Structure 1
Amino acid sequence: MEQKNGYKDFMVHLLFAVYIYGLFKVILFKFRAVDPSWLWQHLKLSLSSPLYIVQGLQDGNLTPFKEISRTLHVLTNHDLINLFGNIAIFIPFGIFIGVMFNNKSLSFTGAFACSFALSLCLESAQIVFAIGSFDVDDLILNSGGGLIGFAAVHFVKWMGRTPSIVQASDRPI
């Protein structure tokens, strides 16, 4: 049984690493190939001229709910995909932390804080690497997505049907 738990834990952590890789590929590399040299060039560029960082902040959105409100009023396909995409891309993060912290040591506040911290790191990285702009609404939407995933895991547990990935070690072979 211990070996099965070890395998399950390994698989969950492996899938989590693949998810984080995909998250970075989408947010930092904008679906391009993951190329550390490209990221290094952007970092050198922003460090050589801090105006890139200032410009990224000025071009960004620092007003909570500004872009969300605009999107809901304009309703273009691109904006709606961006809105729901920012939520959807963090739902797996909430699921993973819900599964990995299966012993209930992580509260909803903790799940929100983890989602917010990861989103803040990614938003800040876009500024530091001069590859995007900072959007506080992305923090809100990403954190909400993380909470949705975390809540889904707890809802399934509450219903008494623990996700198969959590109880894989209890299944007969």
Structure 2
Amino acid sequence: MNVKRTNWLAAILLTGYSALLIRFVVFKAVPTIAIGHMRIRFAGTHTGPSNLVPFKTIATQLAGRGNHLVAMVNLLGNIVLFLPLGFLAPLAFPIDTWRKAIVLGICSGLSCEVLEVVFRVGIFDVDDLLLNAFGVLLGFAVFALFEPKSRIPSRSSPQH
């Protein structure tokens, strides 16, 4: 398969996965209204205090306070769900450094957190953003392991 076709296919997969990610991360348990064949999802009001303190939620969950299953689903889910972005995005776009992968992770996590607040389906939690960015970074690490070294610049080559 040539490079342009791979980039095009990766862009389509990335777009589809991003839509699914928004559906499952932002609009998780939102009621549905059916009008004929059309289904519309509306959010109930889910508001509360935002967490702007890094590692506050993570530390609480790792310390074992609260429901352990919910804590593990939250921690691992916020990482694993964003992993494919770190793998697919470099196939579609020139994301060839870990710095660009971190920016992608922060921007994608921030987008989800802001959408939750705007649509009132969740609260802003900086820890979710950190976990999302870590997931994208892990996905990029997987990409870097399998991608030919000619596409990923070495430490000695100039970074853009």
Q: Per the shorter chain, which TM-score range?
A: 0.7 to 0.9
- The corresponding residue for 1:14 is 12
Question: Does structure 2 retain, via aligned residues, the 8 Å contact 1:25–1:31?
Answer: no
Larger Rg: 1
- The corresponding residue for 2:154 is none
**3-state SS in 2 of match to 1:61:** coil
Question: Does structure 1 retain, via aligned residues, the 8 Å contact 2:6–2:91?
Answer: no
Name the CA shift for 1:66/1:153 in 2 (closer, same or farther; >3 Å): same
Q: Distance in 2 between matches of 1:63 and 1:122?
A: 18
Give the gaps of 5 or more residues in structure 1. 46-51, 161-173
**3-state SS in 2 of match to 1:59:** coil
TM-score by length of 1: 0.71
Q: Distance in 2 between matches of 1:97 and 1:137?
A: 23
- The corresponding residue for 2:106 is 116
Deviation at 1:100, TM superposition (A): 2.1
Deviation at 1:149, TM superposition (A): 0.4
Deviation at 1:78, TM superposition (A): 1.2
Deviation at 1:79, TM superposition (A): 0.6
**3-state SS in 1 of match to 2:147:** helix
Q: Distance in 2 between matches of 1:114 and 1:10?
A: 19
Q: 1:132 aligns with which of 119, 122, 145?
A: 122
Q: 2:62 aligns with which of 45, 66, 72?
A: 72
Superposition pairs for residues 72-91 of structure 1, below 5 Å?
A: 72-74=62-64, 76-91=68-83
Q: Distance in 1 between matches of 2:118 and 2:16?
A: 24
Deviation at 1:83, TM superposition (A): 0.2
**3-state SS in 2 of match to 1:74:** coil
Question: Does structure 1 retain, via aligned residues, the 8 Å contact 2:105–2:136?
Answer: yes
**Which string of whole-angstrom CA distances, capped at 9 and with x for unpartnered residues, describes residues 49-94 of structure 1?**
xxx7xx84x5221110011111111170111111011000110000
Question: Does structure 1 retain, via aligned residues, the 8 Å contact 2:8–2:92?
Answer: no
- The corresponding residue for 1:24 is 22
Give the gaps of 5 or more residues in structure 2. 33-37, 151-160
- The corresponding residue for 2:91 is 99
Aligned residues: 143
Larger displacement relative to structure 2 (13-22 or 85-94):
13-22
Question: Does structure 2 retain, via aligned residues, the 8 Å contact 1:98–1:154?
Answer: no
Q: Whose strand proportion is higher, 1 or 2?
A: 2
RMSD: 2.8
Question: Does structure 1 retain, via aligned residues, the 8 Å contact 2:6–2:92?
Answer: no
Q: Distance in 1 between matches of 2:129 and 2:24?
A: 16
Given residue 148 of structure 1, which amino acid in structure 2 is its aligned partner?
L
